[in-house]
A and B are shown apart, each in its own frame.
Chain A
Amino acid sequence: MGFFAKIHLFCFLLSYLVAFCVEVFQLLRQRSALTRGILLVAGIAGLFAHTIYLSTRSSNSQLPPLVGSSHDWLLVLAWLGGVFYVLLVVTQARLAIGLFLLPATIGLIVMATFVDDVAIDANRQLAAHRWGMLHAGTLVIGMGCVAAATICALMYLLQYQKLRGGKSMRHRIQLPSLEQLTLFNRRLVVCTVLMLTVGLVTGFILTRIKPAELDSPFSWTDPIVAGTTLVWAIMVGTLIWLLTRKEQTGRQVAKLTFVAGGFLLLTILGLMLLSGGVHGTARDNAEGTVGTEESAGVFPSETGSRLGSNS
């Protein structure tokens, strides 16, 4: 246990970075049994360290990683990326999906170092409540779907470009077929809307059934609430377009998903960074500067719970 407690975020960040470098090497030079072996070892080592890190933090805070802090929440999202990466290395060795998935995973881990990593009391109440876990779970899966849909859309656009006479360099990137990517895209948009809807609804339910625990009232003007609702609306619009538009091409679907997904990710993750999850704020939180901590929430109920913690 003592050894596991020493596992730092940089251990798995480094493992994923090694895997990414090997992916780039494979693209530029040569794919071989050795490079595949390194990818597998780096991926599994990273995922193992990542899992241990999250479970250690979870046992220390006595909270599930999903509701521990913004730091944990982002790392859970990155962990999903790590799981998919290892699965893809094992089952789809020829596809270069790691070139897209790993930067997203690494980006989330890097981002996690800039946000609040202090578990707060309100989150214990959230974790204890069944709506709270459903809220956090659906939102993290929803965000994972958005990220996956955005990556799929990007791969579609690159594959499309390659097939319409792109540069020969791109010929070396092995990607799934356009048909497969379109199918994934549609399914991921449906899944995203479903998950975000459940996430938002449970968030609103939490603000209604636990008003006594909330120090400040729920507000539509809260940037996190407004941002999340806006991007949810965009994804719903995308879904409606997908379901109703008669003549649509895979490229249009990919473009729309890429823009919508990219916007959603930038908004949510950007707000997360800008609204106070930085190290300085975390330090302030630790020192009791609760005002800054209030704004560190990501989603409505989380914001509410954090607000509740100030009372």
Chain B
Amino acid sequence: MNVVVLSCNHHNAGLELREKLAFASEEQLTQAYAQWRERHPRSELVLLSTCNRVEIYAAADDGDDELSVDQLTEFVSQFHNLPSDEFTDSVLSHHGTKAVEHLFDVVCSLDSMVLGEPQIVTQVKNAYRIARENDSCGPLTNVLFQHALSVSARVRTETKLSEGRVSIASVAVGDFARNIFNRFDNKTVLVIGAGEMAEEALRYLRDEGVKDIVVVNRNRERAEALASQFGGKTDDFQYLDVWLAKADMIVSTTGATQTVVDHARFEAIRKSSERKPVLILDLGAPRDFAHSIANIDENVFLYDIDALEATCEENRQLRKAEIKQARKIIEQQTERFMHEVYHRATGPVIQRLREQLSEIRRSELDILYRKNPDFTDAQRAAVEKTVHRIVNKLLHPPLKTLKDEAKAGTPHGLLDAVKRLFNLGD
């Protein structure tokens, strides 16, 4: 089996280059697969293109098509109309076992920017699906990607690599909001500011079922753009206090240089309201809410970006502790996969050899029985057993050597030698 991977990822290439090399749409992928098939009709190809990586996996049966990194580089260069010297220094390449291990690392998210993130599994599944739809997969890539997905499932089940959230917004919603509120469909969420962080937090909150969203921002246009994205409404900044009193959750991400809501202001708001539980996610830097607001009453839960980041870091450390275990599983699975693949390569030769020797054994025994028709059944059984044992003992050393060699790769030389020595044909 000949597997090659060319990888341009966030470790070794900037976003600008990754964008140039990306296969951004399904249409582009279809074109790429068509071009590849035209050039290398007997090889298989899977293209994985995400915001953090562009990877090209090519595979061919031994002897079918000699795949090389240069071929992949040339293909990418011509497809994107980009001189190869612009990206060759920023891409990695792997062959054989290393290429398989790399795919397993990627699908298990060991190679991801956010360790343990789950999206990569869906991205790999999609890449594999599109490759199949474009008739670009074959027996090798099918086995490889199916095995990769099962390795990913095993790593996620047997390790804590995906446990604990590691982004500020997901921690804010998943680790804090969900520990305070049981349901979100009856909660009012006030968003102050319309930054990226607010958008991310709203995405998580929408997934939790939030329906009532109000965006208050000095720039009404931006507020409306954000609100319309999540089916929310907007209001003027002058009514901020009204919404501060009504809201169950407040997400603040203004770019203000000074505190937006100070202690006295919020205390007055709380006094005039029901003092129901309120979760304040202050994602602004500098902070939008005075820190002492957390002590106004027992139902105020205020978290700033430092508090959320501390939890993110704690979760990251927990995940890091699982890398060793995940790596162990990947190594085991890679070895198993390669063994299976090479066993498939040596299997037909071994089977033919066994069949040939078995035929010789049968014909020789027939001659013996014809010459000695007085043999009893017990004598025949004893003779057959002895001959069988001799054949097995003679076969054992060459087969063991073949199997041992197969662990390191297809033993072409040995296979050829066996074929010629025993006259097994091609």
Contact = CB atoms under 8 A, between A and B. Distances in A.
State yes or no: do A and B come from one complex.
yes
A2 interface: no
Interface string B293-322: 010011101000001000100100000000
Nearest to A255: B298
A163 B176 contact: yes
A289 interface: no
A178 B277 contact: yes
Chain A interface main SS type: helix
Interface residues of A, number: 23
A252 B298 contact: yes
Name the residue in B178, B179, B299 with the highest tally of chain A Cβ atoms < 10 Å from its Cβ.
B179
B301 A164 contact: yes
B198 to A, nearest CB: 22
B275 interface: yes
Interface string B174-203: 011011111100000000000000000000
17 contacts: A30-B160, A163-B180, A163-B301, A164-B294, A171-B175, A171-B311, A171-B314, A177-B178, A178-B180, A179-B180, A179-B183, A179-B277, A249-B277, A249-B298, A250-B277, A250-B298, A252-B298
Given A33-B157, A247-B275, A249-B275, A179 B181 contact: yes
Contacts of A33: 157
A159 B179 CA distance: 8
A251 B300 CA distance: 12
Nearest to B314: A168
Contacts of B175: 171
A244 interface: no
Contact of A176 (B182, B275, B299): B182
Kindly list the 10 A-B residue pairs having the minimum CB-CB distance in the complex, ordered from nearest: A180-B182, A179-B182, A249-B298, A177-B182, A251-B298, A249-B299, A179-B181, A178-B180, A247-B275, A177-B179
A274 interface: no
B158 interface: yes
Interface of A: 30, 32-33, 159-160, 162-165, 168, 171, 175-180, 183, 247, 249-252
Interface of B: 157-158, 160, 175-176, 178-183, 274-275, 277, 294, 297-299, 301, 307, 311, 314
Contacts of A252: 298
A62 B29 CA distance: 78
A33 B294 CA distance: 39
Nearest to B273: A247
Contacts of A178: 179-181, 277
Contact of B182 (A165, A168, A183): A183
Given A163-B176, A165-B307, A251-B298, 17 more contacts: A30-B160, A164-B294, A164-B301, A171-B175, A176-B182, A177-B178, A177-B180, A178-B179, A178-B180, A178-B277, A179-B183, A179-B277, A183-B182, A247-B274, A249-B275, A250-B277, A252-B298
A184 to B, nearest CB: 10
Contacts of A160: 298
Nearest to A251: B298
Contacts of B277: 178-179, 249-250
B76 to A, nearest CB: 42
Contacts of A163: 176, 179-180, 301
Nearest to B302: A164
Contacts of A175: 179
A162 B176 CA distance: 10
Contacts of B307: 165
Contacts of B182: 176-177, 179-180, 183
A33 B176 CA distance: 26
B176 A249 contact: no
A177 B275 CA distance: 18
Contacts of B176: 163
B325 to A, nearest CB: 10
B179 A162 contact: yes
A250 B182 CA distance: 13
B217 to A, nearest CB: 28
Contacts of B314: 168, 171
Contacts of B183: 179
